[in-house]
Amino acid sequence: MKNIFTKLMTGCMLLATAGACNDEFLERYPLDQVTNETFWNSENDLRVYNNSLYNLVRNDVDVPILMGHHDGFTSHYASIWFQDEFADNMAPRAPRHTRFQQVRAGKHNVPSNPEWFGYRGWNFVRAINVGLDNYDRASISQAVKDKYIAEARLFRGWFYAEKVSKFGDVPFVERELNIDSEELFAARTPRKEAMAKVLADLNFATEKLPADWGDGNAPGRLNRWAALLVKARVCLFEGTFQKYHGGSDANMWLEEAAKASKSLIDNGPYRLYSTGDPQNDYNAFHRVLDVTGNPEVIAWRKYKLGVFTNHVQSYFSYSGGASKSMVEDYLCTDGLPITLSPLYKGDDKIEDVFVNRDPRLRQTVLHPDDTQKYKYDRADGRTYPKLEGNEGGGMKTTTGYHIIKHYNADDLIGKAYNTAESPAIILRFAEALLVYAEAKAELGTITQSDLDLSINKLRDRVGMPHMELGKIAVDPRYTSDGVSPLIAEIRRERRVEMFMEGQRYSDLMRWKQGRKLVQPTMGMRWNDAAKARFGTTTMGTSVDPVSGKTYIDVYKGTDWAVPVFDETKHYLWPIPLNTLAQNPAIKQNPGWE
């Protein structure tokens, strides 16, 4: 900005000395503001403008793509960590998280105005298009311009892909609009056409963004590798959505996903974080305040006291805890699911749940013996787990399965309200491995070498047996999903590895597995021993019809006790009423009329 003001002052002096008879003097630009005619000159001008896009994208409620933790109080829900509450991984009951519970239970209605992470954020597109309409004014090389054009197009493509995932057809706009622009009164762009434009934006970004901005993996600008992962994620979503919901281009999208992720795997500077400690490496880098230089982290958001802070650690209890369904998806150490492994000890006692299981389970859910290790709830000295209604204070859970994957007591102890600095890891290399494996499996071209390059790298980090073609166990829990045991196993790996990183809900939507959301949300085993050990709880209990055992039933007695999922409408969200009123050309999504 200093350069801008310098230019303005220089202009004032030049005009003051200009000849009075110069006709061009009559075509003066405003001296009290920056205009298109005076601003777009240097690379610094383009950099400064794109910095403003990064500032806008921090508003996670309106622009839920580069998800971190929203600043201040809003971080208690507008955080990448809590997005799994829309799905079956977590079990919130906090009144401030009612929106998650509504969507999870299929009880959301057509809103009057755009809601959290919904049909909003269009000012972000306008800001992007203003830049794209003006970058070429700068008197610099096309190669330099293209870096900033690519940055803006990455944002635009990503933004629209997210909107398509929730609403289907979208109003795709590619230029700055004014009050008379016909696009203001146009119908939504059909999904296929919009996604073709998204792919064009993402392709440009992957080709023109620099491989390195020279920031040393600081939480700075998105590079080519970030663009490749975004493209891989978007293409996997669209490819599988078309495959399972009906579409003509599924394979094209899946091939693009495989190519983008493979390019990142083969050519990028990133790798899995591993020190050879399978009992700690999975969650170690999720629980620190600074991940600069971490080889796995591609994009992250930094928080600093006095600049930008959050309080996500303080409100961990709002997440409710991990669900029984989530906990049961971790394999046993022989590589078999709990339904088939002789190593599974059962869940009559909570400690038994962790015995002979994938080490990621104990690095995700709090084992009672690890309370001191993690200094849980500010090292308060209490015994955990604690359920809602238990006496004696402490952090409570709705399921008995406290989440510790991201827990950092040091970001709480001695700190005042809303001064936490826990970072948000937005893009990491592990996701590229998962995308590649899933895309190749969905295409039917996956080989053992592909698995060794992807899924088995993740398993090596935690000392788990390799996935081997031809030796995939058939888990009876997933035979009704309508997919091969291989694809079911890759999906399970994704759920485990990416837990609480904001993708479970979109995964269920693209796989056309919304019916999983109607299954009751259960927690830990509740028997006489548990009652004697943990005392009174306000949580309801129910008998699991499969095992005949009693478990915590998270939503029993609440408005969300009987979830529904309407296959004819719930794969898309409704358009707000005020949007429909303002533009009659926009029609409501099917089933929401």
pLDDT, greater one: 309 or 7: 309
DSSP code for 357:
B
Average pLDDT, the chain: 92
Split at pLDDT 50, 70, 90, the class of 30 is: low
Split at pLDDT 50, 70, 90, the class of 34 is: low
C-alpha to C-alpha distance for 125 and 173, rounded to whole angstroms: 8
In the predicted structure, residue 584 carries a pLDDT above the cut 90: yes
In the predicted structure, residue 5 carries a pLDDT above the cut 60: no
**Model pLDDT, residue 6:** 37
Please state the rounded mean pLDDT for residues 446-457. Answer: 98
CA angle, corner 67, sides to 416 and 591, nearest 5? 120
In the predicted structure, residue 19 carries a pLDDT above the cut 50: no
Q: pLDDT digit string (tens) for 210-263?
A: 999 988 777 889 999 999 999 999 999 999 999 999 999 999 999 999 999 999
Q: pLDDT digit string (tens) for 406-433?
A: 999 999 998 888 899 999 999 999 999 9
Q: Are 308 and 68 in contact (CB under 8 A)?
A: no
**Model pLDDT, residue 392:** 84
C-alpha to C-alpha distance for 76 and 420, rounded to whole angstroms: 12
pTM: 0.93
In the predicted structure, residue 550 carries a pLDDT above the cut 50: yes
CA angle, corner 146, sides to 136 and 210, nearest 5? 155
Please state the rounded mean pLDDT for residues 283-295. Answer: 96
Task: Provide DSSP, 117-134.
Answer: TSS--HHHHHHHHHHHHH
Share of the chain above pLDDT 90, in %: 87
**Model pLDDT, residue 557:** 96
Give the range among 20-29, 255-264, 283-292, 581-590 with minimum mean pLDDT. 20-29
pLDDT, greater one: 534 or 183: 534
**Model pLDDT, residue 226:** 98
- Helices 142-167/43-57 angle, 10° precision: 20
The DSSP bridge pattern shows strands 540-543 and 297-301 to be unpaired
In the predicted structure, residue 301 carries a pLDDT above the cut 50: yes
Please state the rounded mean pLDDT for residues 189-194. Answer: 97
Q: What would the two tokens of residue 327 be? A: 């906990």
**Model pLDDT, residue 185:** 85
Give the range among 18-27, 96-105, 125-134, 249-258 with minimum mean pLDDT. 18-27
**Model pLDDT, residue 181:** 83
**Model pLDDT, residue 545:** 87
DSSP code for 518:
G
Please state the rounded mean pLDDT for residues 351-374. Answer: 98
**Model pLDDT, residue 33:** 61
Nearest alpha-carbon partner for 47 in 215, 231, 290? 215
Cβ count near 289 (within 10 Å): 14
Q: pLDDT digit string (tens) for 475-507?
A: 999 999 999 999 999 999 999 999 999 999 999
- Is-cis flag, bond preceding 295, omega within 30? no
**Model pLDDT, residue 218:** 78
Q: pLDDT digit string (tens) for 56-86?
A: 999 999 999 999 999 888 899 999 999 999 9
Q: pLDDT digit string (tens) for 382-404?
A: 999 999 999 888 999 999 999 99
Distances (CA, A) of 374 to 79, 192, 280, 284, 384: 22, 48, 12, 11, 12
Is the alpha carbon torsion for 461, 501, 218, 309 positive or negative? negative
Split at pLDDT 50, 70, 90, the class of 551 is: very high
Q: pLDDT digit string (tens) for 166-186?
A: 999 999 999 888 888 888 889
- For 24, residues 6+ apart whose C-beta sits below 8 A from its C-beta are none
